[in-house]
Amino acid sequence: MKRPIYLLLALLLLGVSACSSMDAPGSVEDVDLLPDMENIASLYLDGDDDYVEMDEVDLEDPLQLAGEPFTVSAWFRQEAGGDPFQRIVDKSDGPLAHNGWALAADPEEGRIHFYIHDGESGADFASSSGLYAAGEWHFVVAVARADRLEIWIDGDLDTESRYESGAHTLPAAAVTGMRIGTWNHSNGREWQGWLDELAVWNTALSPKSIAILHAARGRADLAGSCDVYAQAGNLVGWWRMGSGARLLADPTAIAWSVEDHACGARTGSLRPAHGPRLDVGEVP
């Protein structure tokens, strides 16, 4: 459906983005895009001892996600081999995301695990096997709705996902640590490969928003407004793994920080300090 020219002019005069509209499945036109130069790097972790320390998440922090629907998404490219329960992100104080939530990926089986624990009991919600292949970029979205969990890969819902253990629940309110690329309480679940555009919302994203974000391949302005992708106000964490302008202005930033562009401004510390690297030129 084409818009009359006077309507386009009116939208331009009002400063309204072209993202508004259309009933087609989500496309890049449904979201504000950042310039390509803003996504020039991703995070590489070696699967041995590399991770990003995000420090303690206190009770007032929106990353608690306590008792409410939420969404975690990330672009990833995993190398073959390594640990079968490699963490993309983990906010917890024990195995199986005890007292919190976590997202993991098994490169051998090509399976995603979405863990949630409410303080008393938990869920290990796992995708089907062979859902993705190592060595390629993929987009995972884990959604905790009020009554069920979902795992989406590359824009499609995995309808075969099921509980390896436990049943549906939502996260506890608990002070725990948080890390990108491993779990919290000991070594052993280190990520081997690349991570990019890790994002967390304190709401369950719609299927259409998931399709839009997949189509944008890491270039969506998650903090931007749009009447189709309308979750900017629910964005509680967004780790771009080095934005273009910042990296180019200060290349030394590579050595120590991963900037959070969302409301929480939670900046991670690379561990060990000269281990993980922001990999310029490697993006989804």
Question: Residues touching Ca ion: how many (CB under 5 A)?
Answer: 9
Q: Pull the structure tokens for residue 103.
A: 């997202």
Written as six digits, the tokens of 31 are 């979201």
- Which CB atom, from 39 or from 203, has the smaller least distance to Ca ion? 39
* Cβ–Cβ < 8 Å for 256, 273: yes
Binding to Ca ion in span 49-88, by CB under 5 A: 49-50
CA distance 171 to 140: 20
**Quick one: 46 or 61, whose CB is closer to Ca ion?**
46
Which element (helix H / strand E) includes 5?
helix 5-14
At residue 281, φ and ψ (nearest 5 deg) are 95, -10
Say whether residue 241 binds Ca ion (CB under 5 A).
Answer: yes
| Mask for 4-33, x = binds Ca ion (CB under 5 A) | ------------------------------
Q: Determine, following the binding rule CB under 5 A, whether residue 36 of this chain makes contact with Ca ion.
A: no
**Which of residues 48, 108, 136, 160 is near Ca ion by CB under 5 A?**
48
- The sign of the torsion formed by the CA atoms of 204, 207, 208, 210 equals positive
244 binds Ca ion (CB under 5 A): no
Give the interface segment with Ca ion, choosing from 44-52, 54-62, 80-88, 163-171 (CB under 5 A): 44-52
CA–CA separation, 143 vs 18, rounded Å?
28
Q: Give me the long-range contacts of 57-61 (CB less than 8 A, separation at least 24).
A: 57/91, 57/100, 57/175, 57/176, 57/177, 57/178, 58/175, 59/173, 59/175, 61/264
Between CA 93 and CA 240 the distance in angstroms is 25
Nearer of residues 36 and 160 to Ca ion, judged by Cβ: 36
The residues in 181-240 that bind Ca ion, with binding defined as CB under 5 A, are 196, 240
3-11, 86-94, 134-142, 241-249 -> range binding Ca ion (CB under 5 A): 241-249
Nearer to Ca ion, 85 or 194 (CB): 194
Instruction: Report the residue from 39, 192, 202, 209 that binds Ca ion according to the rule CB under 5 A.
Output: 39
Distance between alpha carbon 19 and the CA centroid of its chain, in Å? 22
The residues that touch Ca ion, with contacts defined as CB under 5 A, are 39, 46, 48-50, 196, 240-241, 275
